[in-house]
Amino acid sequence: MNDYEEFLESKQLRILSAGPSVSADQVHPRLFPFQRDLVRWAVHKGRAALFADTGLGKTCMQLEWARLLGERTLIVAPLSVARQTMDEGRKIDVPVAHVRDQADVHGAGIYVTNYEMVEHFDPAAFGAVVIDESSILKALDGKTRHRLTEMFGQTPYRLCCTATPAPNDIAEIANHAEFLGIMNRADMLATFFVHADEGWRLKGHARDAFFRWLSSWGMSIRMPSDLGYEDDGFVLPPLRITPRLISTGYRSDGALFFLGLKGLQHRSAARRGTIEARVAALAEHVNSTPGQWLVWCGLNSESAHATVAIPGAVEVAGTDGLEQKIERIQAFQDGHIRVLVTKAKIAGFGLNFQCCHQVAFLGLNDSWETYYQCIRRCWRFGQQYPVDVEVLISDVEQEVWINVQNKEREALAMTDKLIQNVRLFEREELEEQQASYAYETDTVEGEGYRMILGDSVDRMAEVPDRSVDFSIFSPPFLSLYTYSPTPRDVGNSRTPEEFAQHFGYIIDHLRRITRPGRLCAVHVSQVPAMLSRDGYIGLKDFRGYTIGLFEARGWIYHGEICIDKDPQAQAIRVKAKALLFAQLRRDASWLRPAMADYILAFRAPGDNAVPILPDITNNEWIEWARPIWYGIKETETLNAAEARQAEDERHICPLQLGVIERCIRLWSNPGETVCSPFAGIGSEGYMALKLGRHFVGCELRRSYFDVACRNLARVSSTAPKQLDLLVAMEATG
């Protein structure tokens, strides 16, 4: 593998493995085949997430992960999950100790504690940590979430276990990526997402890259068949959900009629105002139905009223002590309590209640995830009976139920989409394979031109040394997945340093192929800094950055031209806050001038052997010698629409033909060779041929290449006749 291939490999956003390799026969035989493979993958990764749906055995998988690593491990779990973790450990011969603080930790082994107790531990004392039901990170306040991330930021091995997230659940994915040390939220957004009117969404060209990246550290699975395994033993019994609309006659204070729910305040008031009617309906149904019941409440008053109305019901409240909560939950699991009344934030995550197959919601809020998690406490692997769910909601809260149903349809569709998108990449991960991006090459020659399809770093090696008289082009501005998904795209660089290294290969080629003393003109503009990506709003000096890159590679900074731009056209096109009239009236501290374009001229070292004798008049030179070029028509470009694809995040903006014309006429002679390593749709070649020059261009993307070839073929038929291109390029001058 050569230096450039190694560099391209380093650009792949794929998390490399940091843990040991284990064979299948090292994993406990009690685990199912899909569980064994997931455990082996997670051990080898070292830092990973198991996004496995409820009931797929995350507890036994995390215990095997810890055992196989052989590190002292701390499992952080929701309330009362410790006992069932210990029970699962006994099934696969893995001893687990329940601890409350660091003083309880003695020697090597696997220890489990509750989220409420985690601050009493020394993270440096553990080589591995498991965050069980890690979706709870999203529900924790920011301070607690950051504390967990910071506490275990240096822990060598980290595992998160939770249900499958939706691909648009940015908070959930970002929380896990940050905790595992994969990528922070700001970098994730800048890399894969774009902010649109509807909020953050995946960039078109980032789609495969995002799902490949996610699959390189997180495995998403709802059923074993999602990864090609048999579903035997994991097909759940029927789930029967019955919404019961309770007539209440409720209306807001001072209102003659109920006029609907308007925001959280109205929702809260309606829920509090309908407690008695809902509790009465609940008690009537539960009291007349034998068997265990799990009753979910959202308000303290709901929980208290329901416990009184149902004989023998036991409440687990937030004010109860930790020991009392655990004791009552375990008594329910053991069948000693018929009706358990509690809240989702107390017992809605991680607990196994397969002992019960009758569930009641005494009202709902708008969180589908909370609703789903509560149901899955009973409806999960190991459940022997159909699960009946009663949703008691007042007649004035119908829209809450409708909202939850809509969110459910949305969430299930998004999860389906996630599974479909990651399935191939996850199989590659499990089989330790990695598919490569489709990379095409081609060459089309015509009268006076040669268009090369492919990676400029590779294909420009075919251009002879000192065969180019002048180069002009617009480089990609550091902007991930805007025009293509491949790491061969210079713009697909995560950092300025990565961009500099990639662009540097092409700058070196340009110096090699350029005749001594001749020029290279680079079109650039400044780059906006974004709050989500850079942490501030402003500008980044891409102009100065480019000058530094060329100087570092041996070019001589020759001069620059500023190209005037219409500020109002720019304000309309990019919706720049800094140019809007509204901002002028609101706060001028945010106003700035429109962003100009620049032509940066660089000279190759050495003496020019063939004088350039431009066909321009003295008056033209007076205009062109100004540091600012005026009169360039921004709309005078080749048509880029035919090259655009659905995944493109921006319209390709070809360099204005007027700018190209001035540069070619000023810095090359007729019959000489002009080059562009980023030819796009062929704008530079179009003007070169039109002005009687030869052209050689390289373009990575097939759709742009095809349009460029058509543009060059069209103009070459009417352009001044050229010498043979190969003869011109091989001439030494």
| Under 8 Å between Cβ of 377 and 295 | no
276/181 same-domain check: no
What is the signed CA dihedral for 322, 323, 328, 330, rounded to 10 degrees?
Answer: 110
Residue that terminates a domain, selected from 227, 254, 276: 227
Distance between CA atoms of residues 628 and 596, nearest Å = 10
Q: What is the dihedral of CA 530, 535, 541, 544, to 10 degrees?
A: -140
Work out how many domains the chain is built from and give that number.
3
Residue whose tokens read 């149904």: 285
CATH number of the domain at 261, please: 3.40.50.300
Q: Which helix (H) or strand (E) holds 423?
A: helix 398-430
611: number of Cβ within 10 Å: 7
Q: Is residue 379 part of a domain?
A: yes
Tokens coding 398: 């119908």
Q: Whole-number mean pLDDT of the chain? A: 87
Give the predicted TM-score (pTM) of the model. 0.68
List of E strands, 45-148: 47-52, 73-77, 96-98, 110-114, 128-132
Residue pair 523/601 in contact (Cβ under 8 Å)? The answer is: no
Least confident of 174-178, 312-316, 400-404, 640-644: 640-644
Taking a C-beta distance cutoff of 8 angstroms, is the pair 375, 360 a contact?
no
**Which residues span the domain enclosing 137?**
12-227
pLDDT at res. 86: 93
Are the C-beta atoms of 163 and 121 separated by less than 8 Å?
no
403 assigned to some structural domain: no
SS3 269: helix
Cβ atoms of 615 and 661 closer than 8 Å: no
Residues 218 and 356 in one domain: no
Q: What is the CATH number of the domain that holds 137?
A: 3.40.50.10810
Helix (H, G, I), strand (E, B), or coil: what is residue 71? Answer: coil
Q: Is the pLDDT of residue 573 over 70?
A: no
pLDDT digits (tens, 9 = 90+) for 106-117: 999 999 998 888
In 247-318, where does DSSP find H-type helix? 263-273, 275-287, 300-309
328 to 83, 298, 312, 442, 467: CA distances (angstroms): 13, 19, 13, 72, 84
Please tell me whether residues 221 and 247 are part of one structural domain. no
Mean pLDDT along residues 151-163: 93
Percent of the chain with pLDDT over 90: 56
Two tokens, residue 535? 């942490």
Q: Rounded distance, CA 286 to CA 529, Å?
A: 59
**Backbone torsions φ then ψ of 219, nearest 5 degrees:** -105, 120
Q: Looking at the predicted structure, is the pLDDT value of residue 623 above 90?
A: yes
Neighbours of 646 (CB within 10 A): 5
Domain boundary among 360, 376, 397: 397
Q: Are residues 210 and 101 in the same domain?
A: yes
595 assigned to some structural domain: yes
Residue pLDDT, tens place only, 189-224? 888 888 776 677 888 878 888 888 888 899 989 899
Within-domain flag for 496:
yes
Same-domain pairing of 335 and 221: no
CB 681 within 8 A of CB 707: yes
pLDDT (0 to 100) of residue 512: 98
Quote the DSSP letter at residue 196: E
Supply the pLDDT for residue 200: 79
* pLDDT surpasses 50 at 318: yes
Which CATH number goes with the domain that contains 479? 3.40.50.150
pLDDT of residue 493: 85
pLDDT at 652 exceeding the cut of 60: no
- pLDDT confidence tier of residue 232, bands split at 50, 70 and 90: confident
Q: Are 296 and 158 found together in one domain?
A: no
Pair 430, 281: CB distance under 8 Å: no
**Which residues lie across from 445 on neighbouring strands?**
450
Asked if residues 571 and 694 have their Cβ atoms less than 8 Å apart, the reply is no
Give per-residue burial for 534-571: e unless 16+ CB within 10 Å, then b.
Answer: eeeeeebebbebbbebbeebebeeeebbebebeeeebb
Count the alpha carbons within 13 Å of 646 in the hemisphere toward its beta carbon. 1
Residue with tokens 């998004």: 414
Helix (H, G, I), strand (E, B) or coil at 141: coil
pLDDT at 257: 46
**Looking at residue 633, what is its pLDDT?**
87
Per the CB < 8 A criterion, the answer to whether 91 and 73 are in contact is no
The last residue of one of the domains, among 363, 380, 397, is: 397
Closest C-alpha to 298, from 245, 262, 343: 343
In whole angstroms, give the CA distance from residue 130 to residue 655: 53
Give bridge partners of residue 392 from the DSSP assignment. 244, 362
733 pLDDT more than 80: no
**In this structure, are 332 and 362 located in the same domain?**
yes
